Amino acid sequence: MVGNAKLKPSARLAVLGLLLERPSWGYELVARFERVFGAQPWEWRVTPTAIYRALNRLEDDAMIEPLGRGDGERWTDSKQRRMRQSYRATGDGARTMREWLAVPMSSSPSQEELLIRVHFGDASDELLRAMLRRHAAACLEELERIAAATAQTRMQRLVKEDRRLAVQARLSWIDFALAELRGPDDARIRPVER
């Protein structure tokens, strides 16, 4: 069994997703990663080293494979190879990503998880909306657990309130995301003929 279906939302998963979009090489991946995930100061930033390390680990796990140089030869210089070797995702890589995207998002996803899901999960707006509804369901279940929790000590009350407000923020984000995804056909406000 190759691959790891339990990949965490990490640079490795993001690189796998980028290679599923199209084959690419190290230097280009660094630039693409930044364009997709790190364009804003508050977004996700990783070092080029982390991208190259991700490529090595994905290759070890057989989720990606190197492409030939075109003249049938492989890079001999390891530094050159690191910079310019092209890779593509394998069937195992594609399955791993699919399985990961199919798992519902928790009520407190990391920013990395959120970015990967929104970027790679949007095969269609409908799929993305379904993902958001599952995410909302997870948040509401969490709120039910919070609602049922007894908080007798000061510490318990502080933690409970912190958690409730965190989940409330997620729900507000889901409201925004669902509104953003509504097309002209299901917009909240739409023109009507007189």
Partner 1 sequence: MSVLALESVSKRYRRGHRELIALRDVSLEIENGEVVCVSGGRGAGRTTLLRIVAGTERPDEGRVRFAGVELRDASDALRRQIAFCNLRFLPAHGRDACEHVAMPLHAIKVSHDQAGLLAHRALERVGAADLAFTSPHEWIPSEVVRVALARAIVREPRLLIFDEPTNGVDPLERDPLLSLIQGIAHESGIATLLTAGDTASVTGADRVLRLSGGELLGRTAPAVAEVVELRRPASESSQ
Residue with tokens 């889901």: 174
Determine if 147 is a binding residue for partner 1 (CB under 8 A): yes
Determine if 83 is a binding residue for partner 1 (CB under 8 A): no
- Binding letters toward partner 1, positions 85-104, x by CB under 8 A: --------------------
- Residue 111: CB partners within 8 Å, gap ≥ 6? 43, 44
Angle in degrees, CA 89, 95, 96, rounded to 5: 85
Please give the helix or strand (H or E) that residue 25 lies within, else none: strand 24-25
Write down the least CB distance from residue 186 to partner 1, Å.
Answer: 8
Which one of 144, 155, 158, 185 is in contact with partner 1 (CB under 8 A)?
Answer: 144
Which one of 20, 64, 179, 183 is in contact with partner 1 (CB under 8 A)?
Answer: 179
Residue with tokens 């790891």: 4
Determine if 106 is a binding residue for partner 1 (CB under 8 A): no
Write down the least CB distance from residue 108 to partner 1, Å.
Answer: 14
Determine if 143 is a binding residue for partner 1 (CB under 8 A): yes
DSSP states along 75-144: --SHHHHHHH-EEEE-HHHHHHHHHHHHSPPPSS--HHHHHHHHHHSTTSHHHHHHHHHHHHHHHHHHHH
Determine if 123 is a binding residue for partner 1 (CB under 8 A): no
Which one of 1, 39, 123, 192 is in contact with partner 1 (CB under 8 A)?
Answer: 192
Amino acid, res. 129: R
User: Under the rule (CB under 8 A), what is the footprint of partner 1?
Assistant: 133, 136-137, 139-140, 143-144, 146-147, 151, 161, 164-165, 167-168, 171-172, 174-175, 178-179, 182, 186, 188-192, 194
